[in-house]
Structure 1
Amino acid sequence: MTTAEEQTSVVPRDGGVNLGRTSTHRIETTLRSLREQRGEVSTGRVLTLIVSVRSEEDLESVVHGANEASREHPARVIVVVHDRTTDEVYLDAELYVGGDAGAAEIILMRLHGELADHADSVVTPLLLPDTPVVVWWPFTSPRNPAGDSLGALASRRITDSFSDAAAGKGTKAIFRRRIGYAPGDSDLVWSRITPWRGLLASALDQRADDTVTSVEITGPSEDPAVDIAAGWLATRLEVPVTRYAGEAVDIPVDGEGIPTAPVERVVLHLEGGDLVMEVIDHRSVRIVDGDTDNLVTLQRRTLGECLAEELRHLEPDAAFGDALHGLPRVTVARAGVTGRDNSVKESGR
C-alpha cells in the first residue's frame, strides 16, 4: 500500500507520472493505481519489451519506436537507461499508461551508479507473468546478446547493427552478430529488407524454370542491411554473390533528398537472361525482366515498423541465422568498382 508521503511526491508530467527516486515496489503499485484510474487492464498486454540504452543515447527516438510498435503488440515497455556517469546509486522512474503511451505501459527507469550494472535484478519484479520477454538494444549491444544478463531473461533478443556504436556500426557490427549468434537473436537490419526480399522472391517465382548463375548487389558501403541481404542470397541461391558499394556511405537518398530502401540495385544473372531490381526513388523500384519493365512500390521502413515485425514472430528466426552464416560467402568488390551492368539501360531519376 502506498503511503501518504509517497502519494504527495507523485508529480504528473507530459501525460505521465514522475516518481523521482523510487523503488520497483512503488513502480508496480503506482502502475496498478494508474490502471484503475483509467480503466486499463494489464491482461491485454501480450509481452514485456525491455529496451536497454545508455544515458547519452537518443531516448526520444527509442520511446517513439517502441510506442509505435506497441499499437500492434500491446506490451509493457520497460526502458532501462544505464547511467554510469555518477557514483551515487539510485533509481528514478517515469510511468505512462494509455494516451500517448499507445497500447503500452511505459516504464522509463534510469539506473545510476553501480545499479546500472544490475538491470536484470531491477526489471525482474516488473516482468508481466506468463508472457514472452523481448530485449531490444537500439544502439549499443553486447557482443553475445544471449549471454548478457538482460538477454538471459528473454526468448527474443533484438539488436540494430546499423546503429551499434560498440561494434563500430555498419558492416563490422553485422559480422559480430554472426560470431555471437544464438537462436532467438535478430537484428533490425533484417526486418528493414523484408519488403525487398518479398519483391525479389516474387520476381524470381516468375522465372521458376530458369537457373540463377550469379548475383550482384549494390548499396551503401556501411549499411549492414545490404550485407545481410547478400548473405541471404548466397545461402538461398548457393551461387557467387558480389557486393558493391553505392554512392552513399550509409543512407541512400533520392532526388528529393528522401531516404530510400537500403539495397539500391540487384542483378540476378540467369541462364535465360538477367533480372534487375533497382531503386527509382523513395516510393518505388523498377524491375526489369527481359522485355518486361515494371514499377513497384517500395519504401524505407520506419523504426516502429521494423520493431513491430520483430515482435510479430517471437520464435527463433532460422532464415536470419542462415543469412548470417552466408556472410563469408559474399565477395566484396574492391573500391572504385560500381557493379553497374551497362547492358541494362539506366532508369530515369
Structure 2
Amino acid sequence: MTTPESTGVGSSGVGQLDGRMNLGRTTTHRITRALRSLREKRGEVTTGRVLTLIVSARSEEDLDSVVRGANEASREHPARVIVVIHDRSTDEVSLDAELIVGGQAGAAEIIFMRLHGELADHADSVVMPLLLPDTPVVVWWPFTSPRNPAGDSLGRLASRRITDSFSDAAAGKGAKAIFRRRIGYTPGDSDLVWSRITPWRGLLSSAVEQHAGDTVTGVDITGPAEDPAVDIAAGWLADRFSVPVTRYAGTSPAVPIDDEGLATAPVERVVLHFTGGDLVMEVLDHRSVRILDGETDNIVTLHRRTLGECLAEELRHLEPDAAFGDALHGLPRVRVAREPAPAPVEESHR
C-alpha cells in the first residue's frame, strides 16, 4: 500500500502517531474489525464522534495539508475522517487501507483508503459501511472537485459538501472558479473561500452598523485577481446592498504578503460609499486592518485564517448556508474593472 508517509502525509507528524495499523490490501469488513480492535486496545469509544468527514483526494494532491487541516478541525469537532484517495493509474481493482487512532490525530480517527482501478469510481459503495450511524456526513474536496458536488456519488451521501475554489485548479482562477460553484450550486454546498472571509465580513458588518439611517450608494473592493474569496465578498456586498459593486484586481500575488513576508487577509481594501461619506477598510499587515470612517481611525486585529480554522467553521453549521447562496446569487451584479484600482487613502489620513 502507499502509506501516508509515501504520499507526503508523514511530514506533518502523522508518521509518528500512536495507535496505527497498516492493513495493506483489505476489505471494508476488515477495516471495521481493525478499528474496533484499535479502540479496545486504547480504551476508546466512538460515542464522542459527532460526524463523519469524507475527504476526496487524488494521489498527486497535497495530502499532508489535508491531514493537518482535518486534525485541526477535529479538535473542535470529533469525527471519523475517511480519506479516500482515488488512484486511476492502474487497471487492477483493489483497496489498501491504513488506520490512525489517537495521538496527534486530534479527536479524530483517520482511515486512509486508496482505491485502485475501477474501484476509484465507486467510492460511495466502499465508504458506506464505514459511516458512523445517526450522525451527519460531510464531504470535503480539498483540491479537485466535481462541477456539481450534490450530484457526485460521494456528495449524495452528505448533508454538507465543501469545496475550495482557491485550490481547485480544474475550476480556473478568481471569478471563473467561484462562478463554477454558482452554476452547480445546491443548498448544502459551501466553499472554503467563503469561510476564509468570515472575520472580515464580521468586522465590516460591525462598521456598517454605525451608519444606521445612512444609505450605501456604491462599493469598491480590491484584492488579488486570482483569489475567488475577493469575488465572493463582492457578490455578498452586491446582494446585501443592491448597489453597484466594482471589483478591482490588486497588484499582489494570489496570497498577498506584508513587509514581513507573512500572508494577509484576501480582501486588501473595500470602500463603501455612503451618502454621508466613505467607510474604508484596508489591510495593514498580517495581523491588522485599518477602518477609516469620517474622523474615526481604528486599527483592528485580523489575520488570514488557516485551512483548519476554515474547515472547523464549516463543520459548526451543518445546515445549508443561505448567506453563501445569496452571495453566489450576487456575483453577476459585480462589475469587474479593467482599469487600476482607485488610489488608496491619502497618507495624511494614516
In structure 2, the CA distance between the partners of 1:287 and 1:175, relative to structure 1 (3 Å rule), is: same
Alignment map for 1:52-63 (pairs within 5 Å): 52-63=56-67
Give 1:172 deviation, angstroms.
1.4
Give 1:88 deviation, angstroms.
1.1
> What is the CA deviation profile of residues 223-280 of structure 1, one whole-angstrom value per residue up to 9, with x for unaligned ones?
0000000000000011100000011131110001100000000000001110000000
Is the CA contact 1:158–1:186 (under 8 Å) kept in the aligned structure 2?
Answer: yes
Is the CA contact 1:280–1:347 (under 8 Å) kept in the aligned structure 2?
Answer: no
Alignment map for 1:331-342 (pairs within 5 Å): 331-334=335-338, 336-341=339-344
> What is the CA deviation profile of residues 139-162 of structure 1, one whole-angstrom value per residue up to 9, with x for unaligned ones?
000000000000000000000000
For residues 69 and 348 of structure 2, the distance between their equivalents in structure 1, rounded to whole angstroms, comes to 36
Give 1:100 deviation, angstroms.
1.3
For residues 262 and 176 of structure 1, the distance between their equivalents in structure 2, rounded to whole angstroms, comes to 20
Partner of 2:184: 180
Give 1:166 deviation, angstroms.
1.5
Percent of pairs with identical residues: 81
Alignment map for 1:119-134 (pairs within 5 Å): 119-134=123-138
| Alignment match of 1:192 (pick from 165, 190, 196) | 196
In structure 2, the CA distance between the partners of 1:346 and 1:276, relative to structure 1 (3 Å rule), is: farther
**RMSD over aligned Cα atoms:** 1.3
For residue 299 of structure 1, give the secondary structure of its aligned residue in structure 2: coil
| Alignment match of 1:87 (pick from 85, 91, 98) | 91
Is the CA contact 1:138–1:160 (under 8 Å) kept in the aligned structure 2?
Answer: yes
Amino acid at match of 2:175: T
Amino acid at match of 1:125: P
TM-score, normalised by the number of residues in structure 2: 0.94
> What is the CA deviation profile of residues 156-186 of structure 1, one whole-angstrom value per residue up to 9, with x for unaligned ones?
0000000112212432111000000000000
Amino acid at match of 2:39: R
Partner of 1:96: 100
For residues 161 and 139 of structure 1, the distance between their equivalents in structure 2, rounded to whole angstroms, comes to 8
Partner of 1:160: 164
Is the CA contact 2:174–2:231 (under 8 Å) kept in the aligned structure 1?
Answer: no
For residues 280 and 155 of structure 2, the distance between their equivalents in structure 1, rounded to whole angstroms, comes to 40
Larger mean CA deviation between 303-312 and 33-42 belongs to 33-42
Alignment map for 1:137-156 (pairs within 5 Å): 137-156=141-160
Alignment map for 1:2-21 (pairs within 5 Å): 14=16, 15=18, 16-21=20-25
Amino acid at match of 2:200: W
Amino acid at match of 1:277: M
Partner of 2:6: none
For residues 196 and 288 of structure 2, the distance between their equivalents in structure 1, rounded to whole angstroms, comes to 15
Is the CA contact 1:163–1:170 (under 8 Å) kept in the aligned structure 2?
Answer: no
Give 1:345 deviation, angstroms.
3.6
1:26 has 2:30 as partner: yes
Number of matched pairs: 335
